Amino acid sequence: MQQVVFATFNRGKVREVGNLLAGLELEVLSPADFGISTLPLETGDTFLENAVIKASAVWQQLRIPVMADDSGLLVHALDGAPGVSSARYAGPDANDKANNLKLLEALSGETNRSAAFFCQAVCILNNTWPVASLEGLDPNLQVRTGYLGKDCHLLVASGSVSGVIAQAPAGEGGFGYDPIFYLESHKQTFAQIDQAEKNRLSHRGQAFRTLKKAFEAMMQV
């Protein structure tokens, strides 16, 4: 079975990605399983840069397939904020409640409350993987050969889901901005939606299902 590292120390996220990739001969592991205890700070200006920062740090040490992602909330009336700063919107040590409160305050009196969750997931592979088989596979998948050097390929998968920012939090599930991210199609916030349905709709679910398609194609060659 092929080992794949997901560049996070959050075991819940590692399990989630493992579930999203279920059915493949892949074992999804954490950097901690290889004795890695730190990851670099996310100092990029884009979701892609932040995902690559994490993945490349692990790749340089292990040279086996490494995945990472970065995601955030883009609010149109705020010119895309909080964006890459979503986790730190109310300050470097802010919790979800503080971030939600700051966002609701920023939108006070605003009629345009449209927003989108966006995710970019990456996977670094050595150059023996048959990435030529991925041409035309999925419009949300990019293959960047040579982006990080001659000895590896970078796969980039994107996912997004549109909604509006609610007037007040609702729901006990989820995390982050889920209690105030309202889906008009479901008449519920992400925190109120069943977890299986959320996984089907979510930006992260979309991105990692695209990476799953890529692995399925390459492992059949």
Q: What is the pLDDT of residue 215?
A: 95
Q: Which of helix, strand or coil describes residue 77?
A: helix
Q: What pLDDT was estimated at residue 89? A: 93
Q: What is the pLDDT of residue 191?
A: 93
The 10 Å Cβ neighbour count of residue 48 is: 20
pTM: 0.89
pLDDT at res. 167: 96
Domain that holds residue 55: 2-219
pLDDT of residue 27: 94
Classify each residue of 176-214 as buried b or exposed e, where b means 16 or more C-beta atoms within 10 Å of its C-beta.
bbbbbbbbeeeebbbbbbeeeebbebbbbbbbbbbbbbb
70 is catalytic: yes
When divided into structural domains, the chain yields a total of 1
The mean of the pLDDT values for the chain is: 94
Tens of pLDDT, residues 129-183? 999 999 999 999 999 988 888 889 999 999 999 999 999 999 988 789 999 999 9
Query: What is the percent of the chain where pLDDT is above 70?
Result: 100
C-alpha 108/C-alpha 155 separation (Å) is 39
What is the predicted pLDDT for the residue at 200? Answer: 87
Distance CA 26, CA 196 (A): 22
Q: How far apart are CA 75 and CA 203, in angstroms?
A: 15
- Token pair, residue 99, equals 């971030």
Q: What does the pLDDT average to over 27-41?
A: 95
Q: Could you tell me the CATH number of the domain that includes residue 120?
A: 3.90.950.10
The more confidently predicted of residues 93 and 102 is 102
Mean pLDDT, rounded, for 91-115: 95
- Is the Cβ–Cβ distance between 106 and 77 less than 8 Å? no
Single out the residue of 140, 131, 135, 156 nearest to residue 218, CA to CA.
131
185-220 residue pLDDT tens: 999 999 999 888 888 898 999 999 999 999 999 998
Please name the helix (run of DSSP H) or strand (run of DSSP E) that holds residue 75, with its range, or none. Answer: strand 66-75
Instruction: State the catalytic residue, choosing from 33, 69, 70, 178.
Output: 70
